[in-house]
Amino acid sequence: MPVDLSRIPEPATRNRPPSLKRWSMVLLIFLVLGGFLTSSLWPAQKVVREALFWHCFITAPLVIWAVFLGIRWLIYLAVEWPASGWDHERKQDIANEIRRGQRSLLLLGVGVQLPHVVESTTLSQQFLVPQGLALPAVVDKNTQAVSFLARFNDEGLIFFERVIERMNKLFSESAIQNSLQQRNVNRTLTIVVQIAYENILSKEELAYIQSFILHLFSTSRIHISSQFGLKDIDHWLDAPDSFADLLLVSVNLQPELSDGEGEAAVALLFQVAEDVSDNDSAVAYIHRPEIARDAAEISTSVSQALQWGKTQAEDIASVWLAGMGVESKVQSLLASSTLKFPRAEGDKHLVDIDMKSGHTGVTSPWLAVALAAKNMDIVPNPQLVMSISDKNASFYCLVIHPQVSASQKKL
């Protein structure tokens, strides 16, 4: 269940405590009335003001006033004590929800394949530099129309073979191989394969993909799901035992590409952060994603994501936006938001990924996570990822933190 602090009930309604000024006035009135009644009813033949006179004049009104004040305090405390208990439990619930919201995953390995990128070690810098990377221009032989798109150079293969080829390339990347070799083999490895246009693959082809992965990794927990997304990361953080280690392989290949689209393949190896707090081989911390149903909720969603990531907008070094197409919607999106990122904006590190990779469909949020993680090799500061879902136009925001080594923690 996603963490939603707005579901926590409001603080208890409290009454005002008895007012000292008001009850002092009541005491004065009681004393005046007591004196008036005592003087009026006191026998005229008793000239001497004995003790009974003064008890009737002062003590009796004071006792009556104290009784009424005590009753008023009891009424106040009868409401105040349960209200204090309610608010204490409410604070505990908020603290527990915040702790739950601030759970995180460790990103142990990153692999990225893009058609128009040769050197992936400086991939994030190629996206940050204004002229560092651009969508290739492709001329249609029949119509001579120019389109900007990125397609892998394997057009001679059928779709199924292209998927296998991309997965082979990802698994061959040194970053993925090293992270898999360094992981604890006693921990169960779950592999989720996300394939765009999965429906055009036959059952036999899907079965072959599973057997292909099984041969490489010897794990029975293999799932093929085109629907796997950031919401599943959210659910995993609420149920850490559902996965031990997770290798996500997201492959976006398309039978036909349109202008502004791009193919991509990303592999990410995750692990629950609570179990491996001293894992120096990790790349980054991945904090809980927060959803915004529409543009009006973006500011609130980003603020909540920053809280889950234990950081401030001023500390964000780069903002990575994915899934928004090549219409350059970033400036209008940020203009509608009340949040500002002075450091990222000052360094011109607001990156519209789709402008340089093309719209990469189901792979776009994972590409953004991979780029943000890779960028921390150069800029070891928090990064913000904002991704829009193709299915329901929802925004997801999440913070990525650099991993602090055990030696740094001791300083």
Q: What was the pLDDT predicted at 405?
A: 47
Q: Residue 127 CA to chain centroid, in angstroms? A: 24
What's the chain's Rg over C-alpha atoms? 33
Whole-angstrom distance, CA of residue 17 vs CA of residue 75 = 10
CA dist 216 and 246 (Å) reads 15
Position with higher pLDDT, 178 vs 348: 178
Res. 1: pLDDT tops 60: no
Domains of the chain, first to last: 5-101 (no CATH), 104-409 (3.40.47.10)
User: Is pLDDT above 50 for 105?
Assistant: yes
The pLDDT of 1-11, averaged and rounded, is 71
Over residues 229-267, the pLDDT tens digits come to 899 999 898 888 888 889 999 999 988 888 889 999 999
Confidence of residue 335 (pLDDT cuts 50, 70, 90): low
Give the tens place of pLDDT for each residue, 350-404. 888 988 888 998 999 999 999 999 998 888 899 999 988 766 678 899 999 987 6
What is the mean predicted confidence (pLDDT) over 66-82?
A: 87
pLDDT of 130 higher than 70: yes
Residue 121 CA to residue 330 CA, distance in Å, equals 26
Give the pLDDT of residue 250. Answer: 95
pTM tops 0.85? no
> For residue 320, what pLDDT band results from cuts at 50, 70 and 90?
very high
Distances in Å between the alpha carbon of 208 and those of 1, 164, 201, 203, 215? 34, 10, 11, 9, 10
* Burial class of 135 by CB neighbour count within 10 A (0 to 12, 13 to 18, 19+): buried
In this prediction, residue 274 has a pLDDT band, given cuts at 50, 70 and 90, of low
Is the pLDDT higher at 368 or at 41? 368
> Residue 408 has what pLDDT?
40
More confident residue, 173 or 337: 173
pLDDT value at position 86? 81
- Which pLDDT band, with edges at 50, 70 and 90, does 336 fall under? low
Average pLDDT in the chain? 83
pLDDT in tens, 182-213: 888 888 899 999 998 888 999 999 999 999 99
pLDDT for 411: 34
Place of tokens 């040194």: 174
Q: Which residues contact 129 (CB under 8 A, 6 or more apart)?
A: none
Distance CA 373, CA 267 (A): 12
